[in-house]
């Protein structure tokens, strides 16, 4: 074979491999995206069982129940339209508070509650996760008043 | 008089801006009117650093004397803060950290100006002018959007205090180290752009550039390692890497500059990859600017991002676009004139270097995609998504495996022939057997641990065999000195790999409720929660737990995890301080969750085998880079004297 034909074969093989790698990559990428849904969006959509995604909202006041024997915890979060029960087993972050915004990763259980794998409350105490503040069904000013009344 | 210091600091900032303006105008405007610009460029590029240093000292002093008339100080400090935190608070917020950024940028320019006499005169002047342009741009940003000396309208009685998460030793040193690395890449970047202007990349220029690149790479490595160490003990979750966008922002320039370190070796030794090296240099600095933009603009919310002021984000974005745009334009116009003089075989050391580079660049882009794709979707309002650890585990780690394998092979190859492929096969069998023996002795069943162990032996044994073989016929001379840094750096990588795989596969993490008096057994260790008690610090009150740790019935350690409440914290948000007993073979880690009952707490108890190797590996890599720098500078000196 001529040198040139060999080179063409090389190029073909390498580009074929690259295309396969690229598709694998896109597949992995798509499978590992975590989507965000608010509590009222959850009631409108169907999810495949075991589908992991993130939800967010404000922790409903006086809804936090902490077990004294195990690390089981449950609480409600709301976007001021719908609320959803969240079950979690583990230790909550320092910044977790009733009346504050949280983002939670986990999956929907068959009874309609949400099983949390991870509860995120970020580093800043005055901070409302942007996903949460945008998906809330009331505007910012209302929110401030509501959270004040919740905290009180 | 003392309160005037903040005005003096501001005055120095303006002076520095004028100085850098003079620097960039010497090459662009002043030379047309027959002014001797050579002396002017040398002078202004050296003056910049002392001026900014004075300004920086003014800010430090104002912090120390609690000058709360300055807004930045009243926002980030408090009279009860210990003095060393008052100093580190200087770079705890946006304005001060930008001043530190500018100071470090000027420091690099100062060093370059001092030690670039050996370069061609014309080249050197252009080089310093481009650095001057970067200095000028960031100073404009500092003065017009983030002035650290801005005054308060009314002087508060006390400051709001430093974020308690930042009141820590790790955070005193982490930002300056990371900035030294980030900003150090500006030297390499300016150099690459100057090469584009001169349409040339001489071999001896590459030799000159190498220590600079290695130095900034070392700082970057150190900065990232410090950040990871801080997150490990301060955030109370015991993880050392989270694939958080903020971490990725520092990791991307690291990966890119690691690729650059390797391609520069090719440019220096074989006079090839010139174009590629220039492009990598542009990318590396662009990524460190992108990191700054992501972290500082408030797009990402974290402990690093401060008040969200949109003008800042827009300014950095425009500056970023300008720098990347102009440099890439210059590159595309001139790259074809910078030619490689040699070609190389398909199977050769050179092509392995190329594969190394392709892998590192691919790895950078997988991280980049995972970091900015969610942001882009969000900006266009399409969908709110996040990309988590599983994505990186599936895309990033598979790229690392061949890369680590290459790190064990390439050093043993020689440029002139490829006859030692047979040796590689023999070594492979030997190393596989060694790993197998270890797997059997420790009865390892976890696949990742097996892989980690194999990769560790692959690098270390290959390198040691190579080292001893060469020692016999090679007088400990130049080859050894040239390679010793590389040996260290690659063995550092091996140690890191071993630590990372083992701690992630064999760690034990328990979260439970413990009453005082309760015990729990984790691995071979028994943890006893004896009591908790109150013990206050200088500016916080603290509840401490006392955990006794027993092994084989003997007390080996007492751990005191804490819950702190800082006085200045109005909302009563507690901070967690973990209790850690560090050890080379394992860490024992206890942190308090919350008080559930009168005398029971939710508690995290972690057993982390070999986690220290993660940071030790990084330190050894840095040591390797420093050795390389030392020997290269020595060599250059000798060459000049003979």
pLDDT in tens, A104-119: 889 998 888 999 988 8
Q: How far is CA A130 from each of CA A56, A95, A103, A122, B491, rounded to the nearest angstrom? A: 10, 16, 10, 11, 43
* Predicted structure pTM score: 0.91
Residues of chain B with pLDDT under 50: 1, 302-303, 305-307
For chain B, the domains span 1-167, 420-506+613-641, 508-610
- Taken in order B388, B393, B398, B400, the sign of the CA dihedral is positive
**Minimum distance, in Å, between the CA of residue A44 and any CA atom of chain B:** 16
The residue length of chain A stands at: 152
The minimal CB distance from B604 to the residues A54, A91, A122 is found for A91
Nearest residue on chain A to B598, judged by CA atoms? A68
Query: A32, B394: Cβ pair inside 8 Å?
Result: yes
Burial B221-246 (b: 16+ CB within 10 A, else e): bbbbbbbbbbbbbbbbbbbbbebbbb
Selected for mutation to probe chain A from B397, B513, B563 (highest A CB count within 10 Å) is B513
Query: B386, A34: Cβ pair inside 8 Å?
Result: yes
- How many Cβ atoms sit within 10 Å of the Cβ of residue B39? 10
Q: Which of B169, B1, B179, B149 is nearest to B75 (CA)?
A: B149
Q: Which two tokens stand for residue B519?
A: 């015990």
Q: How far is CA B605 from each of CA B514, B580, B602, rounded to the nearest angstrom? A: 11, 10, 10
Helix or strand holding residue B601 (H, E): strand B600-609
Q: How far is CA B401 from each of CA B393, B483, B609, rounded to the nearest angstrom? A: 12, 23, 22
Confidence of residue A32 (pLDDT cuts 50, 70, 90): confident
Q: Which residues fall within 8 angstroms of residue B261, CB to CB, at 6 or more apart?
A: B213, B214, B217
Distance between CA atoms of residues B184 and B199, nearest Å: 23
User: Which phi and psi angles does B609 have, rounded to 5°?
Assistant: -70, 135
Nearest residue on chain B to A128, judged by CA atoms? B301
Nearest residue on chain B to A103, judged by CA atoms? B386
**Minimum distance, in Å, between the CA of residue B219 and any CA atom of chain A:** 26
Contact B463, B408 (CB under 8 A): yes
With residues binned 3-state (H G I as helix, E B as strand, rest as coil), the percentages for chain A, rounded to 5, are 35, 30, 35
For position B540, what pLDDT does the model report? 87
Q: Which of B318, B328, B263, B326 is nearest to B289 (CA)?
A: B318
For position A125, what pLDDT does the model report? 46
Distance between CA atoms of residues A114 and B68, nearest Å: 48
Contact B528, B514 (CB under 8 A): no
Contact B4, B22 (CB under 8 A): no
- State yes or no: pLDDT of A149 exceeds 70: no
Chains A & B: contacts with CB separation below 8 Å: 81
Q: Is residue B408 left, alpha or beta, with left meaning phi > 0 and alpha meaning psi from -120 to 50?
A: alpha
For position A133, what pLDDT does the model report? 65
Nearest residue on chain B to A32, judged by CA atoms? B391
3-state SS, B283-323, equals HHHHHHHHHHHHHHCCCCCCCCCCCCCHHHHHHHHHHHHHH
ipTM higher than threshold 0.85: no
Distance between CA atoms of residues B293 and B313, nearest Å: 7
Q: How far is CA B631 from each of CA A12, B261, B410, B489, B637, rounded to the nearest angstrom? A: 44, 16, 21, 15, 10
Q: B537 by DSSP, 3-state: which? A: coil
Residue B307, Cβ density class (10 Å: 0-12 exposed, 13-18 middle, ≥19 buried): exposed
Measured over all CA atoms, what is the biggest interatomic distance in chain A, rounded to whole angstroms? 84
Which residues from chain A sit within 8 angstroms of residue B386, using beta carbons?
A: 33-34, 36, 54
Q: Which of B424, B423, B455, B425 is nearest to B438 (CA)?
A: B455
B579-581/B586-595 β-pairing: antiparallel
β-bridge mates for residue B550, sequence order: B526, B555
Distance between CA atoms of residues B264 and B206, nearest Å: 7
Return the CATH number of A36-151, one of 3.90.660.10, 2.60.40.10, 2.40.50.140, 2.40.420.20.
Answer: 2.40.50.140
Q: How far is CA B118 from each of CA B205, B252, B281, rounded to the nearest angstrom? A: 9, 32, 21
Distance between CA atoms of residues B499 and B588, nearest Å: 15
Q: Which of B410, B306, B430 is nearest to B348 (CA)?
A: B410
β-bridge mates for residue B547, sequence order: B529, B559
Angle between helices B478-506 and B389-409 (to 10 degrees): 150
Distance between CA atoms of residues B145 and B122, nearest Å: 35
Query: B602, A67: Cβ pair inside 8 Å?
Result: no
For position A152, what pLDDT does the model report? 34
For chain A, the domains span 1-32, 36-151
For position B300, what pLDDT does the model report? 63
Task: Calculate Rg over the CA atoms of chain B.
Answer: 27
Nearest residue on chain A to B236, judged by CA atoms? A93
Q: Which residues fall within 8 angstroms of residue B336, CB to CB, at 6 or more apart?
A: none
Confidence of residue A121 (pLDDT cuts 50, 70, 90): low
Helix or strand holding residue B433 (H, E): helix B421-441
Q: Which residues of A touch B (CB under 8 A)?
A: 25, 28-29, 32-36, 54, 66-71, 89-92, 94-95, 105, 122-127, 129-131
Q: B72 by DSSP, 3-state: which? A: helix
Q: Which of A81, A101, A86 is nearest to A147 (CA)?
A: A101
Q: Which residues fall within 8 angstroms of residue B220, CB to CB, at 6 or more apart?
A: B178, B180, B181, B182, B184, B185, B250, B253, B254, B257
Q: Which residues of B touch A (CB under 8 A)?
A: 163, 165, 236, 301-303, 366, 369-370, 373, 383-388, 390-391, 394-395, 511-513, 569, 571, 573-576, 593-594, 596-597, 600, 602-604
Residue B326, Cβ density class (10 Å: 0-12 exposed, 13-18 middle, ≥19 buried): middle
Query: A25, B395: Cβ pair inside 8 Å?
Result: yes
Distance between CA atoms of residues B510 and B96, nearest Å: 40
For position B301, what pLDDT does the model report? 54
């Amino acid at each position: 074979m001529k040198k040139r034909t060999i080179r063409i074969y090389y190029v073909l093989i390498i580009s074929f491999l690259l295309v396969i790698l690229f598709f694998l990559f896109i597949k992995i990428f798509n499978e590992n995206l975590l989507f965000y849904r608010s509590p009222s969006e959850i009631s409108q959509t169907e999810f495949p069982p075991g589908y992991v995604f993130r939800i967010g909202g404000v922790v409903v006041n006086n809804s936090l129940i902490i077990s004294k024997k195990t690390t089981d915890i449950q609480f409600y979060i709301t976007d001021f339209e719908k609320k959803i029960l969240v079950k979690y087993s583990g230790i909550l972050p320092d910044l977790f508070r009733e009346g504050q915004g949280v983002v939670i990763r986990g999956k929907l259980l068959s009874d309609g509650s949400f099983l949390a794998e991870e509860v995120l409350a970020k580093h800043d105490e005055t901070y409302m996760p942007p996903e949460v503040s945008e998906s809330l069904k009331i505007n910012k000013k209302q929110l401030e008043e509501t959270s004040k009344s919740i905290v009180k | 008089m003392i309160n005037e210091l903040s005005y003096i600091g501001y005055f120095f900032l303006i002076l520095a801006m004028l100085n850098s303006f003079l620097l960039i105008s010497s090459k662009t405007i002043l030379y047309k009117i027959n002014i001797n610009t050579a002396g002017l460029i040398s002078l202004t590029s050296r003056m910049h650093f002392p001026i900014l240093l004075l300004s920086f000292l003014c800010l430090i002093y104002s912090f120390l004397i609690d000058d709360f008339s300055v807004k930045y100080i009243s926002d980030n400090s408090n009279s009860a803060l210990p003095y060393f935190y008052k100093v580190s608070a200087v770079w705890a917020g946006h304005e001060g950290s930008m001043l530190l950024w500018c100071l470090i940028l000027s420091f690099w320019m100062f060093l370059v100006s001092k030690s670039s006499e050996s370069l061609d005169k014309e080249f050197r002047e252009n080089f310093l002018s481009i650095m001057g342009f970067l200095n000028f741009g960031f100073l404009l940003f500092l003065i017009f959007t983030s002035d650290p000396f801005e005054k308060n309208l009314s002087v508060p009685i006390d400051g709001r205090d430093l974020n308690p998460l930042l009141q820590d030793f790790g955070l005193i040193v982490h930002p300056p180290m990371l900035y030294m690395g980030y900003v150090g890449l500006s030297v390499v970047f300016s150099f690459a752009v100057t090469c584009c202007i001169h349409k040339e990349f001489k071999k001896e220029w590459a030799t000159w550039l190498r220590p600079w690149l290695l130095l900034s790479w070392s700082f970057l490595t150190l900065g990232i390692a410090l950040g990871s160490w801080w997150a490990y003990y301060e955030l109370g979750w015991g993880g050392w890497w989270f694939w958080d966008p903020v971490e990725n922002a520092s990791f991307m320039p690291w990966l890119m500059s690691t690729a650059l370190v390797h391609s520069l070796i090719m440019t220096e030794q074989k006079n090839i990859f010139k174009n590629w090296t220039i492009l990598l240099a542009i990318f590396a600095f662009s990524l460190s600017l992108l990191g700054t933009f992501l972290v500082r603009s408030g797009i990402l919310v974290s402990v690093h991002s401060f008040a969200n002021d949109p003008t800042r984000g827009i300014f950095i974005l425009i500056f970023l676009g300008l720098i990347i745009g102009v440099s890439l334009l210059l590159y595309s116009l001139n790259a074809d004139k910078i030619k490689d003089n040699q070609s190389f075989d398909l199977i050769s050391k050179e092509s392995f270097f190329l594969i190394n580079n392709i892998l590192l660049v691919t790895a950078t882009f997988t991280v980049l995609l995972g970091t900015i794709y969610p942001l882009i979707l969000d900006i266009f309002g399409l969908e709110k998504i996040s990309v988590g650890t599983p994505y990186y585990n599936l895309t990033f780690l598979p790229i690392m495996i061949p890369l680590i394998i290459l790190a064990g092979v390439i050093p043993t190859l020689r440029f002139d022939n490829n006859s030692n492929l047979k040796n590689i096969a023999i070594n492979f069998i030997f190393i596989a057997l060694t790993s197998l023996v270890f797997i059997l002795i420790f009865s390892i069943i976890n696949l990742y641990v097996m892989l980690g162990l194999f990769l560790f032996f692959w690098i270390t044994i290959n390198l040691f065999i190579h080292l001893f073989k060469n020692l016999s016929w090679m007088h400990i001379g130049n080859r050894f000195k040239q390679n010793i840094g590389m040996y260290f750096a690659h063995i550092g990588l091996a140690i890191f790999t071993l630590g990372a795989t083992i701690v992630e596969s064999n760690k034990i993490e328990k979260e439970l409720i413990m009453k005082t008096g309760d015990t729990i057994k984790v691995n071979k260790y028994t943890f006893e929660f004896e009591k908790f008690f109150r013990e206050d610090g200088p500016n916080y009150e603290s509840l401490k737990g006392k955990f006794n740790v027993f092994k084989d019935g003997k007390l080996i350690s007492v751990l005191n995890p804490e819950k702190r409440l800082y006085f200045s914290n109005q909302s009563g948000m507690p901070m967690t301080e973990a209790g850690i007993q560090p050890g080379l073979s394992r860490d024992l880690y206890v942190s308090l969750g919350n008080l559930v009952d009168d005398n029971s707490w939710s508690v995290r108890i972690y057993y982390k085998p070999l986690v220290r190797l993660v940071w030790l590996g990084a330190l050894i890599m840095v040591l390797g880079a420093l050795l390389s720098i030392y020997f290269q500078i020595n060599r250059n000196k000798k060459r000049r004297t003979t």
